[in-house]
Structure formats: structure tokens, C-alpha cells
Amino acid sequence: MIIRATVLDTPDDPFAGGVLRAEDDCGILVEQAGVIGERGPFASVRADHPEEEVVDLRDGVLLPGLVDTHVHFPQVRVIGGLGMPLLDWLDECALPEEVRLRDVDYAREVARDFMTGLVDAGTTTALVFGSHFAGAVDAMFEAADRWGLRITAGLVTSDRILPDPLLTTPERAYEETAGLAARWHGKGRLRYAVTPRFSLSASEGILEACAASLAALDGAWFTSHVNENLREIAEVGALFDGASYVDSYDRFGLLTVRSLLAHNVHPTDAELATLAARGSAVAHCPTSNAALGSGLFPLRRHVESGVHVALGSDVGAGTGFSMLKEGLQAYFLQRLLGEQGMPLTSTHLLWLATGAGARALGLAEEIGDLSVGKQLDAVWVTPEAGDPLAVGLANARCAEDALSKVFALGTTSDVGGVWVGGEPITARGGPSRTGRE
Ligand code: GUN
Ligand code: ZN
């Protein structure tokens, strides 16, 4: 197959001098196993491969598949609970819903809603916060496998503070993790992530069990929350003898290049130095931080400390699955921070929503941009004629301006197609604009 499109991507980190790569009437040859074999002016790729089927996506723009580095599978149905800070929102919105996932049939329905949300938004890769129930995590992995998404996820573990049905023991957490990882880690596009909910709800025993699971699982990831809300941070300090939030994980050896912590809205310089030294990344979740009033993410301090940052939707505290919306909200916030903020261009936003996530998840060799040798994971943004985005694209001053318009105006209804590993997701029974599973 040759895809013919206006292609926008960010092969190099714009925080380190990379620029937007924009090609009008670009041809991308997709070979066996979904690998991009050739890329260049359509006419020349076509001349090299006159027999190949051509998929014409010239109406709109083609972007690399979007990467969501922090999203909660069991929270699809509580998106939009506004007006509360983190700990109240957990008690009133998130945790009662998460208890419902002990019913596996219910969890299967939620898994379908969740995958639909990701694909409709053009998200092809995600680091997913699973459920506290192993059966629900199985249901989520099953759905992800069926639709062919690149999902890294795991059982969420906790043994204090949360409602009783969500609690486990270190022994049970270790055993259920081993069982789930045996079933899913390395199967197709799936990988396992060891996932204590946050150190507020995880005793030393749970964190030790997490370390043991990581030691036992080759190539598994680690994810949790950190420094999201000031009240939460004070409570963590009290529970861990005044240790910093980052240290509450680091003292158990949980922070490595395969670790990704969500939020980090209120880090100390020492915590940033630890994250940089470990090579651990941070998922910035702009709509969630705004909706919960968690605080103003210090992107500049992360970048200057050498901590890698990618974007997360944090559904369901975040207000939807769209990584375009997250990018725009990240831009707004850095503008509002004035001199403390980091001025962001649309090129930065695309990087944060694609290449940065691929790098943070250790997938930069395979995905993140549309270079030769990478997998064809892509989203086609194609607004209806007359839509403000269509008008904006038709009148863009340059490629970067067109991309700004995609972030400013693009919504899930502009997503016309999604490919993972060269396959359209609809071919696997995934959702599309025209029909659901
Ligand atoms: N911290 C612990 N659990 C959660 C959660 O579900 N959402 C957010 N935003 N923060 C958390
Ligand atoms: Zn979260």
C-alpha cells in the first residue's frame, strides 16, 4: 500500500532543536508487517511501485498515531465530574465507579467504551492505568489485543486508604501480577506495567512487591502518580517519614528508564534531579490538572532539569481522550505562566503528543514519527468541508500554522482513519465513524 497525504511529523525533539517535517503530496510505502519501506514525493514512490494499491488521504493531514502516556481504563464513565480537588474527586467520582469493575461483564463493557474512546481520538499507543481487579485487567487486555492497539498496562495495587473492595495484600498483588503478565506481557503489541495507585495508598509491603514483580518481569514498565495535589503530597510526607514523593518510589528501586510518573505538578529541585538521574519520564496531564485545580505544571523546570515529559489525557479526571485538546491546554497553560512558562509552538505540541510519548515508553525505534523503518501508526485528520478546521487548513500560512489549527480546532469528529502497524483499526473490528464493534 502507498499512502498519499500531507504528512506532518516530528522526528527530532524540538526542545533540543528539532523542527517540524512537513511534506505535501507525500508517498509512504507500507511494507509487510506494517513497516514504512519508502517515503518521499508521491510521484517518485509511485514510480518505484507502480503496482501498489494507493490510499488517497490528501484531504486533511496525516499525523503519527497519538500517544497517551497516562489514561485510566476504569474511568471512562466518570469523565466530566468537575468542581472537586483530587482526593474528593477520587472519593465521589472515581473510586465508586472503579469498585463496579469487580463484575467482569461490566468491565468488558467499560473496556469497549475505553478502546472506542482511544481510537476515535486517534490514539494508537497508551500507557494505561488498569483496574484493581485482575478479571477487569484481562478484559481490557483482551479488547486491546483484538483491536491491535499498543497498550502497556497492569493491575492497580493498593492496600490502604481506598474503599475495601479495592484493597489487596502484597502477596496477592505479586501473584495476580505474575498471572496477568504471563498472559499478556509481550503478546502482540501488549506489555505489562507494574502499577501501585500512588504511594498514598500503597504501603511499603506493596511497593516491595512491585519491586519484586519488576525484577521478575523482563522489560516490564512501572507507572504511578506523583506530586499532583498539595494535600496529597503532605499526607505522603507524613506516611513516609518526611521523604519526598519521588523518594517514596525511589527508595524501593522503582524509578528507572522504564518508569513513567503522572503529574509532577509540584516537584522540588531535588526530585527533578532524581528523576533525571534515573532517566524516568513524566506524563503531563493538562486538562486533568486544570479540572481538579491541581496546579500549574512547571514544564520549563522539567526541560531544564533534563526530565523527559510526554502528554497524558488522565481520563477520567482529564476531560476527554483527545490528545489534540491536551496539547492545546498545555499550550494555554505555558502562555499563562508568563516568564516562568515555556513558549510552545505547534511543533512542540505534536512532539509532546507523539515522539515524546514514544520515547518515554521506550518505543522510539518503532513509532513516534513516520520515518522509513518505523511502523505505520497514523491518524488521518480530515474535517468535513466547511468545518472551521477545513477552512483553517485551506487558509494556513505555512505547515506550522496548519498544525496550530489542527490543535486549536481539531476534535475527535475530524478523525477519519486510524492505522496501527499498517492496519486500519476498523479492519480488526474497532470503531470507526461509520460503525461500531
Ligand atoms: N491519584 C491516585 N489515583 C488517581 C486517579 O485516579 N486520578 C488522578 N488524577 N490522580 C490519582
Ligand atoms: Zn491518573
Residue identified by cell 472537586 is 84
Does residue 190 share a domain with residue 173? yes
Does residue 279 share a domain with residue 414? no
User: Which residue out of 77, 87, 131, 225 has the highest number of ligand 1 atoms within 8 Å of its CB and is therefore the one to mutate?
Assistant: 225
Containing 331, the helix (H) or strand (E) segment is helix 323-336
Half-sphere exposure of residue 7: CA atoms within 13 angstroms, side-chain side: 27
Cell representation of residue 26: 507525500
72 CA distance to ligand 1 middle (Å): 9
194 CA distance to ligand 1 middle (Å): 16
Nearest Cα residue to atom 5 of ligand 1: 90
Q: Is residue 248 part of a domain?
A: yes
Does residue 181 share a domain with residue 167? yes
Ligand 1 atom closest to the Cα of residue 318 is: 9
Q: Is residue 157 part of a domain?
A: yes
Last residue of a domain, one of 340, 360, 380: 360
The DSSP-derived string for 178-243 is: HHHHHHHTTSTTEEEEEEES-GGG--HHHHHHHHHHHHHSTT-EEEEEES--HHHHHHHHHHTTT-
Strand 54-64, strand 36-41: pairing: unpaired
Dihedral of alpha carbons 51, 57, 59, 63, sign: negative
10 CA distance to ligand 1 middle (Å): 30
Last residue of a domain, one of 314, 329, 360: 360
What is the predicted pLDDT for the residue at 436?
33
Q: Is residue 436 part of a domain?
A: no
What is the predicted pLDDT for the residue at 427?
54
Does residue 424 share a domain with residue 337? no
Does residue 329 share a domain with residue 406? no
What CA–CA distance (Å, rounded) separates 34 from 339? 44
Complex ipTM more than 0.95, yes or no: yes
* Ligand showing the shortest atom-to-Cα distance for residue 88: 1
Q: List the CATH number of the domain containing 294.
A: 3.20.20.140
What CA–CA distance (Å, rounded) separates 369 from 203? 40
Ligand 1 atom closest to the Cα of residue 72 is: 6
What CA–CA distance (Å, rounded) separates 281 from 258? 8
Q: Give residues (CB < 6 A) around ligand 1.
A: 72, 86, 90, 94, 197-198, 225, 228, 288, 314, 317
206 CA distance to ligand 1 middle (Å): 17
Does residue 202 share a domain with residue 157? yes
Does residue 187 share a domain with residue 80? yes
The DSSP-derived string for 73-131 is: GGGGGGTT--S--HHHHIIIIIHHHHHHTTSHHHHHHHHHHHHHHHHHTTEEEEEEE--
Does residue 316 share a domain with residue 174? yes
183-186 contacts: CB < 8 A, separation 24 or more?
183/138, 183/141, 184/138, 184/141, 184/145, 185/217, 185/219, 185/220, 186/219
Dihedrals phi, psi of 60, to nearest 5 degrees: 110, -155
Contacts of 9 (CB under 8 A, 6+ apart): 20, 21, 63, 64, 350, 354, 355, 369, 370, 371
Half-sphere exposure of residue 309: CA atoms within 13 angstroms, side-chain side: 28
Last residue of a domain, one of 339, 360, 381: 360
Q: How many residues does the chain have?
A: 437
Nearest Cα residue to atom 7 of ligand 1: 317
225 CA distance to ligand 1 middle (Å): 7
Q: How many domains does the chain have?
A: 2
Ligand 1 atom closest to the Cα of residue 200 is: 2
What is the predicted pLDDT for the residue at 405?
98
Q: Is residue 434 part of a domain?
A: no
What is the predicted pLDDT for the residue at 437?
36
Q: Is residue 206 part of a domain?
A: yes
Does residue 319 share a domain with residue 298? yes
Mapped onto helix, strand or coil, the DSSP state of residue 351 is helix
Does residue 310 share a domain with residue 272? yes
Ligand 1 atom closest to the Cα of residue 232 is: 1
Q: How far is CA 159 from CA 169, 177, 288, 309, in A?
A: 6, 15, 25, 29
Q: List the CATH number of the domain containing 34.
A: 2.30.40.10
What CA–CA distance (Å, rounded) separates 307 from 302? 5
Q: Is residue 435 part of a domain?
A: no
Mapped onto helix, strand or coil, the DSSP state of residue 326 is helix
Q: What range defines the domain where residue 240 resides?
A: 66-360
What CA–CA distance (Å, rounded) separates 164 from 162? 6
Nearest Cα residue to atom 11 of ligand 1: 225
Q: Is residue 320 part of a domain?
A: yes
Does residue 223 share a domain with residue 128? yes
Does residue 72 share a domain with residue 60? no
Strand 190-196, strand 221-226: pairing: parallel
> Which of 356, 354, 285 minimizes the C-alpha distance to 321?
285
What CA–CA distance (Å, rounded) separates 259 from 276? 11
198 CA distance to ligand 2 middle (Å): 9
pLDDT tens, N- to C-terminus, the chain (437 residues): 999 999 999 999 999 999 999 999 999 999 989 999 999 999 999 999 999 999 999 999 999 999 999 999 999 999 999 999 999 999 999 999 999 999 999 999 999 999 999 999 999 999 999 999 999 999 999 999 999 999 999 999 999 999 999 999 999 999 999 999 999 999 999 999 999 999 999 999 999 999 999 999 999 999 999 999 999 999 999 999 999 999 999 999 999 999 999 999 999 999 999 999 999 999 999 999 999 999 999 999 999 999 999 999 999 999 999 999 999 999 999 999 999 999 999 999 999 999 999 999 999 999 999 999 999 999 999 999 999 999 999 999 999 999 999 999 999 999 999 999 999 987 555 555 433 33
What is the predicted pLDDT for the residue at 433?
41
